[in-house]
Structure 1
Amino acid sequence: MRGISFITATFVFAFCAQILAAQGRPAGVVTEIVETKFMAETVTVFGEIVTGRESAVAARVAGVAESVPLRVGDLVSAGDVLAQLDTELLTIEVDQSRAEIDIAKAGLTVADAQLERTDKALRRAETLKANSTIPQAQFDERTSDYAVALGNQQQASARVRAAENALKQAEYRLNNATVRAPFDAIVLQVTTEKGQFIAAGSQVATLLDQSAMEVEANVPARFISALRPAQSVEARTDTGGALGLELRAILPTEFSATRTRPVRFTITSPDASVAVGQTVTLEIPVSAPNEVLVVPKDALVQAQGGWSVFVNAEGKAQPRTVEIGAALEGGFAVLSGLSAGDEVVVRGNERLRPGQDIAPSGARPAAANGTPAATGAAADDTPSQGQD
């Protein structure tokens, strides 16, 4: 028993010695530099990913589907084959139309020859009539022959044009027997199967242009005047992905129940996981960027009657009461209590005592300086809770 008591006493003594030694060392903390930033007041609105171009591609001609080389989810490029119709009959129609052109052109050749012959005969008759050496009846006959030949020639010429138009129609049907993708897209739906008869105008597949997806958000009408064309807006998807947006259009409609107007935004830096119908949170700037002093939210400790921070004062933790304003991106606007360049503790401040020695690490600017940033209050922009 004496041996056990001795070991226990030794362990307790060593543990207490470690605690005393630790209390004598400076507290390890992480700090950041308080800076002024250009910030714009924002309002949070919710939007939705919408399609800018979705097409139900239809067959232009009727026929039986010989092949449908695509499935839902396939990526297709402009010009890729979506469906191939049987072309056997269409090829025969093209050959027949070309034969009809040859027949019509041969008839035109005969009609031209007849017209030329009757024209010469009429010219001779006109010369003889001028000399009064041809009876009137014979002259009238020559005139009538010419008129008939002219009509035949015009009719033959029209047959050629009709045959050429028929060939164009046959070639159109043959060329469009191959249904192609009109743009780069992903296949959302396939509505045709091999061997199925497709009527002209029937849907073959539904395509979605992923590069043309946009965000539509209903913005309160009172903030519309602050929006500008091509204005940059930051947004996040419901999965946490960041989206860069650019204002494209403010639609001239208003919802009376909510007093909001639909606004369309082009996605400039897309998240690969976005999908039509997905919810997006946007921070809409409603004022011009202003220069404000910002303290990181993690530096704030709740104190009696307000908020305070610990400032690194030559290696000692100096408490300082601060007055904060609007919540900004990752921090709060400072109304009083701090100055630009102050080094505040953002990690390890919960257990600090006034005047305690500290060993700062990671002193750095809270964010890039000199560039406007979209800001706004968020659900998690709450200062950390600490000791009074």
Structure 2
Amino acid sequence: MNRSTLPLLALFALIGASTAAAQMQPVAVRAVPVELQKVQPHHRFTGSLRAISRGSVAALEDGRVLEVTVREGATVKQNDVIAIVDSRRLEAQQGELQAALLTAQALVSQRQAELRQTKLDLERSHTLVGRNAISQQQHEHNETEVAVAEARLATDQRRIAEIERQIELMQVRLDDTTVRAPYDAQVIARLAQPGEWIKAGEPFVTLVSTGKIEAWLEIPERYSGVLSQYAQQPTVKIVGNDQQFTASSAKRVHEVHPRTRTFQFVLTLEDPEHELSPGMSVDAWLPIGPEQDDLTVPKDAVVRAGGAAYVYKAVEGEKGTIAVRQPIQVKYETANLIVIDAIGLAPGDKVIIEGNERLLPNTPIAVTEVQPPSRQAEAKLDRQPL
């Protein structure tokens, strides 16, 4: 190819690209105005999830394991049967106690009859001693017989009560051979198998509670006063999947680590679908002060790439509206908004919230403006019936 033709080819390519750009159809996007709002300052804290309850369910009685009803991964409800231990020895002991109870009850009946007889003898001796028909010594002997009969009856009645308590204890031990879940949980380890001999205190399974889970955040001690005041029901984000959960309660652990100078802030999360697992990493933007005026944009407006954050601003030009990339600094996040700091943005500027993922700088756009989040909330309140 003649070298003299190369500049001409490059010129034609440039002209063709310019013509294509000029003929590019505007990209349909949706945008909202930047707002200056009163928002609480927030700070990002990190932590991890922990189960509210975790532990091994142990045997309460020695015996041969008849059945372990669950395996790893199984979900159990409170009082569901987990394992069954052979109870035949305890049942035999309970039968022995019940027989002893019948014997004791029969003996009490005998003592009651003996007491009635000694009382009759005492009544007769009381009459006879008044007539000098018997000696005073014989009368006193009859009185002693009544006292002895009463003592024997009381002793045997207490024996009945003792046996009844032993039977109650034996029933408790029999109930303990059926091992039940202490709370709603998932089985994470099965530690005993049918046919094995297990001793009291040895575990059947290891459980992790379900339904609720706690997010433990590490908080620098300088925030100890403000969190208890402002952070009551914050939102927690699961780092691995970006899911967000609103805490149902929050509490501070009143102990500062001597080396890290941090304390732990515990948030309780509802997890009815069992989506969360202990050990997951979490972060949370927690309020750390009173409200102040700041620029805000919806979370959908912010694009993050390569460690930088930016928005696309709709700018009117001579040939129509174009998308201008505007770098921003994220100050903090709330549940629905991102509070930003940007030199090139002002209240009322339109930022793109839908369609911004596929944009390039200076792309022609066709903007559909929607209401900002604050006005959407106001409109929703106005539509509510009185």
Question: d(CA) in 2 for partners of 1:272 and 1:81?
Answer: 21
CA distances 1:100-134 after superposition (whole Å, capped 9, x unpaired): 11111000000001011112222332344455543
- For residues 352-372 of structure 1, give each alpha carbon's deviation from its aligned partner in whole angstroms, at most 9, with x where no partner exists: 6xxxxx55234334645577x
SS at match of 2:134: coil
Any conservation in 1 of the 2:75–2:186 contact (CA below 8 Å)? yes
Amino acid at match of 1:363: E
For residue 248 of structure 1, what is the aligned residue in structure 2?
A: 250
Q: Which moved more, 1:243-252 or 1:44-53?
A: 243-252
Matched length = 350
- For 1:262, the equivalent position in structure 2 comes to 264
Contact preservation (8 Å) 1:315, 1:359: no
Q: 1:220: which partner in 2?
A: 220
Structure 2 equivalent of residue 364 of structure 1? 370
After superposition, where does 1:1-388 map in structure 2 within 5 Å?
20=19, 23=22, 27-28=26-27, 30=29, 32-36=31-35, 37-130=37-130, 132-228=132-228, 231-240=232-241, 241-268=243-270, 272-294=274-296, 296-297=301-302, 310-312=314-316, 316-317=320-321, 327-329=331-333, 333=340, 339-344=346-351, 347=356, 348=359, 350-351=361-362, 359-365=365-371, 367=373, 369=375
1:320–1:27 Cα change, 3 Å: closer
The CA deviation at 1:341 is 3.5
Does the aligned pair in 2 maintain the 1:312–1:344 contact within 8 Å?
no
Residue identity opposite 1:333 in structure 2: I
Residue type of the partner of 2:254?
A: P
- Separation of aligned partners in 2, 1:246 and 1:206: 27
Aligned match of 2:3: none
**How well do the aligned residues superpose, as a CA RMSD in angstroms?**
3.7
Is the CA contact (8 Å cut-off) linking 1:308 and 1:322 kept in structure 2? yes
1:15 is displaced (CA, Å) by: 11
Question: C-alpha distance in 2, partners of 1:191/1:321?
Answer: 59
Rounded to whole Å, the distance in 2 between the matches of 1:168 and 1:222 is 57
Distance 2:324 2:72 in 1: 62
Moved more, 253-262 or 332-341: 332-341
Q: Distance in 1 between matches of 2:15 and 2:237?
A: 50
Pairwise CA distance, 1:179: 0.8
Structure 1 unaligned regions, length at least 5: 1-8, 300-306, 353-357, 372-388
Q: Could you tell me whether the CA contact under 8 Å between 1:34 and 1:339 is conserved in 2?
A: no
Contact 2:332 2:339 (8 Å CA) reproduced:
yes
Is the CA contact (8 Å cut-off) linking 2:212 and 2:270 kept in structure 1?
no
Q: Can you list the C-alpha shifts for 1:169-225, whole angstroms capped at 9, x where unaligned?
A: 222222221111122111122222111122222222211112232011110111121
Q: Which moved more, 1:65-74 or 1:329-338?
A: 329-338
Q: Gaps (5+ residues) in structure 2?
A: 1-8, 305-310, 378-386
Counterparts in 2 of 1:111 and 1:325: CA distance versus 1, 3 Å: same
After superposition, give the CA deviation of every residue in 1:33-76 in whole Å (9 maximum; x if it has no partner).
Answer: 22424432222221111121113212222211111121111111
TM-score (norm 2): 0.77
Q: How many angstroms apart in 2 are the aligned matches of 1:290 and 1:252?
A: 29
SS at match of 2:264: strand
Q: Secondary structure at the match of 2:211?
A: helix
Query: Could you tell me how far apart the structure 2 residues matched to 1:121 and 1:253 are?
Result: 78
Match of 1:378 in 2: none
Amino acid corresponding to residue 157 of structure 1 in structure 2 = Q
Assess, with a 3 A threshold, how the Cα gap between structure 1 residues 14 and 64 changes in structure 2: closer, same or farther.
Answer: closer
- The answer (yes or no) to whether the contact 1:35–1:365 under 8 Å persists in 2 is no
CA deviations on 1:133-168 (whole Å, 9 max, x unpaired) are 431111121012112211221122122112212211
Identity %: 22
Q: Which amino acid aligns with 1:351?
A: N
